[in-house]
Chain A
Amino acid sequence: MKLKTTLLTSVALTLAAGAVNAEGKLNIYNWTDYTSPEVIEKFEKETGIDVTLDTYDTNETLLAKLQAGATGYDIIVPTSNFVPIFISEGLVQEFDAAELPNFKHVAERWREVDWDPGRKYSVPFTWGSASIAYRPDLLGKTIDSYADFFEPPEAAQGRISVFKSPEEIVNQAHLYLGSPFCSEDPGEMQKVQDLLMAQKPYVLVYSSEGMNDRLLNGDVIISDHWNGYAFKGRELAEEQGKELVYAYPKEGVIGWADNLMIPASAENLENAKTFMNFMMDPENMALQSNFTGYGGPIAGQAEFMDASMRDAPEINAPDDAKVVFSFACSAKAQSLIDRVWTNVLR
């Protein structure tokens, strides 16, 4: 009985908390494990604003949720290819990023970007790339092309792991075939489909989770991977005397950049801007990078970052590496991608 009372009280308290005046609060909606607790603590201490952090799993979830009318968030963190969608769907608020004092710290390449011309709706956040990682010790060679991924050598046949996400995998096929992202040409898409179908017999698993686990226990020899996650995998592999390498194939890697944006329904506009400004401080962004293992867009943040990260090849792409940023496809291109994907996994 006592337990019940306690619970009812806590329910009541939670309900009441939701109704309290929104003054002095900030509700951040970000990817899980993607917000440095140190950063939040520091922010709360410096500004006196009370931060609530919630998490989601994919851009699609974030989009579907806001479209279905979810409210209460002041900061969201969509990836570059989703930014134009949030803008065109009217889900985010306009503001002037350049007016924020710390915008001056943003590195040149992140100031003017395709997905938000003039930075009217967003400020840059963590960025990274998607490519493939492999075990040179088990493969017996190095990889410099997607050829080994799509048409694997014998050692890797049946030991390939592929993202369970059509956009990345179709884009990788485009890179390998030399066709443009978001192609609307059925002929080109047919080639993409043929390539993926030909690869399928050699694939052990389609999954976007547990890449390091599979690479390290040897289930998989070549795997789709994210750079920051692969960085953690390599450190672990070195401890165990194994090798794990994040490849920069000559055809290019897929770049993504996350952005801080303010939902149209945000109730704490000023606090959201304060947070954006706070994040663009080199020291704070460095804290964030150290926590996630992904690079940041702020010039001068490197000196505050962990030494292991500063020199990590996963985070700092070689100068000759090609990083191609993906973007939102037209409805026609998107429906071609969906059909290819459904056909491959039928």
Chain B
Amino acid sequence: MTAQDDIVPAAALPGTKVRRAFGEVPGLKTLAFCFLAFLYLPIGVLVAYSFNEGNIVMVWTGFSTDWYAQALADADIRKAAMNSLIVAVSATAISTTCATLAALALARGGAFRGKVALLGLISLPLMVPEIVTAVATLVFFSSIGLRLGLGNVIIAHTTFCIPFAFMPIRARLEGMDTTLEQASRDLYASDWETFRLVTLPLLMPGVLAGAMLAFVISMDDFIITLMVAGAGDTTLPVYIYSMIRQGITPEVNAVSSILLLFSIAMVTAYWFTTRQKPGRNIH
């Protein structure tokens, strides 16, 4: 973190009344950390119970790492986890790109007929109950004979991820200042340069938020995947939800913990590579 990154609290500037800056509501920090505790308490429990010896999830019987050994040796569950990751990453990439373009067009394209209808269309996947989407999509896929294996699942996921990626990006764009973009054009930057160097960085927090939501939604989807997936395309949620007759075992917790560890490692790696070059962000 560099000094220029810090927002200087107004109270510290000379000449201002000595009073707490508006944004610094007392207790906000405490609240934020309580919130993190709320978010991570179940995750802590989940990880702790992955070391449960017994074969049921909710009653602690003793410490054991057997479930990890079993999860790592279980080819089905490994494949399901891999499928989930492939689908989630592909659907996130495609839906976020489409959503960014659409949000830009709607925000910067001026007023035109049918704008509200287009907004409605893009939000449509949100409004239909999952099971209906699931059955309808399967009926549609099989009636047009679409058989792309995991591709079918990726298409279905991309579709319902679009509104989730779109909403935060649109919220970001709405009311966003166009002065910087104007200035860039006045300086004879090409449209592409303006987009790449000015608009996109300004938009980035929205894009990141949208992509995160899309990823989370895709990783968790069960009903649509269950219906749309063909032979060999079982994803992790489908696998987990279907363990009903046997009871859900801590193996699932072990797999979740491994995935969690993997994600955290990826994020940390990303974190360390990007913080080497500060000052690239335009603020």
Binding site for B on A (CB under 8 A): 3-4, 7, 10-11, 14-15, 17-19, 27, 29, 31-34, 37, 52-58, 61, 64-65, 68-73, 208-214, 216-217, 226, 228-229, 232-233, 236, 239-240, 292-293
Contacts and interface: CB of A to CB of B under 8 A. Distances in A.
A216 B142 contact: no
B245 interface: yes
A241 to B, nearest CB: 11
Contact of A239 (B54, B82, B149): B54
B232 A55 contact: no
Nearest to B241: A57
Contact of B248 (A27, A73, A209): A209
Contacts of B61: 236, 239-240
A7 B90 contact: yes
Contacts, number: 149
Interface stretch (B106-114, B157-165, B222-230): B222-230
Given A15-B148, A54-B234, A7 B59 contact: no
A131 B239 CA distance: 26
A210 B58 contact: yes
B86 A69 contact: no
A90 B261 CA distance: 47
A17 B242 contact: no
Interface of B: 54-59, 61, 74-76, 82, 86, 89-90, 93, 135, 138-139, 141-143, 147-151, 154, 226-227, 229-234, 238-249
A3 B92 CA distance: 14
A201 B141 CA distance: 45
23 contacts: A11-B150, A15-B148, A18-B148, A27-B231, A33-B242, A37-B75, A37-B76, A61-B226, A61-B227, A64-B227, A65-B226, A210-B247, A216-B56, A217-B58, A226-B245, A228-B246, A229-B247, A232-B56, A232-B246, A233-B247, A236-B61, A239-B54, A292-B246
A31 B247 contact: no
A11 B142 contact: no
Contact of A211 (B86, B148, B247): B247
A55 B246 contact: no
Given A64-B135, A210-B57, 12 more contacts: A7-B90, A14-B150, A18-B148, A33-B249, A57-B244, A65-B227, A72-B230, A209-B248, A216-B59, A239-B54, A240-B61, A293-B246
B150 A55 contact: no
A213 B57 contact: yes
